[in-house]
Amino acid sequence: MTFEQMWHYGMLAFKNGIVMEQGQMSFEPGIVVLCVGVCMLIGYLIGSLNFGVIISRIYGQDIREKGSGNAGATNMMRVYGKKASILTLACDALKTIIAVLLARFLVFGYLGAYIAGISVILGHAWPVYFKFKGGKGVAAISAFCLVTEPWIFLIELVIFLIILFGFKMVSLGSVMIALIFPLMVFNFRGAGIHIILALIAAGLVVFLHRQNIVRIYNHTEHKFSFGKKKQPKSEPTSEELAEAPAQLEENQNEEDKK
């Protein structure tokens, strides 16, 4: 088995497939079901390693209990700052890359990569290890796109950055790149089952941003800030208010002595 065969078909599928006259592979339905199931399992279990939750617990409190309640890099930026956000983004992207490459090389080739990528988004959003409450899958679909369609990734990255710096809304950029992803895949790859899979991946990301879309429509969506959100000053307590006149009088007496 060559590297090219593993990259295109996957080890499991290639070993159990039938080579046709023109070099194409034919698979029994049972093998297809097996390969799809393995790819989904790989993607979901690895995707369930939600690093927003894991890293925030190192900081002392679950990110799902702070800020917007979302276990993703944007909320990590708001609550814990740049370092925590970058680390979360990198780890969530890395887990996606690992899952997609495992599914592509070892199981079902190009289609396996798409199936695993969708499953990572599912695992990231509804992680089995963290009571099925996770993030919105932006890092997952971005890393999945990077591995499977690198040229599309570069184009979408430019679009995302333009929207982010222009409107300062991560959610708007995320929804837009998700919506154009199937169109870009069709433009680069043509028609095929990969279009259906791209539509599913994009639909998941849009669905997970449904509340953000409502806030964007109502002009109440949070604006992104490139830094840790400053904590608002706390209101004075009743004891502090009661002691304020005495403190002012003491300060005045000290001034008179001078």
CA gap 177, 200 in Å, rounded = 14
Query: Given this model, what pLDDT does residue 236 score?
Result: 52
Dihedral sign (CA 54, 120, 139, 64)? negative
A 10 A CB-CB count for 144 gives 29
How confident is the model at residue 69, as a pLDDT?
A: 86
Distances (CA, A) of 9 to 2, 153, 258: 11, 22, 88
The first and second tokens of residue 118, run together, are 């969708």
What lies within 8 Å, CB to CB, of 243 at 6+ separation is: none
- Residue numbers in the chain where pLDDT is lower than 70: 1, 18-27, 225-258
The per-residue b/e assignment along 113-129, b for 16 or more CB within 10 angstroms, e otherwise, is: bbbbbbbbbbbbbbbee
**Tokens representing residue 104 in the block:** 């592509």
Instruction: Please give the model's pTM, rounded to 2 decimal places.
Output: 0.80
Domain that holds residue 132: 3-257
Number of domains within the chain: 1
What pLDDT does 88 receive?
93
The conformational region for residue 56 under phi > 0 = left, psi -120 to 50 = alpha, else beta, is alpha
Cα(249)–Cα(251) distance, rounded to whole angstroms? 5
pLDDT of the residue at 247: 58
Give pLDDT, residue 86: 92
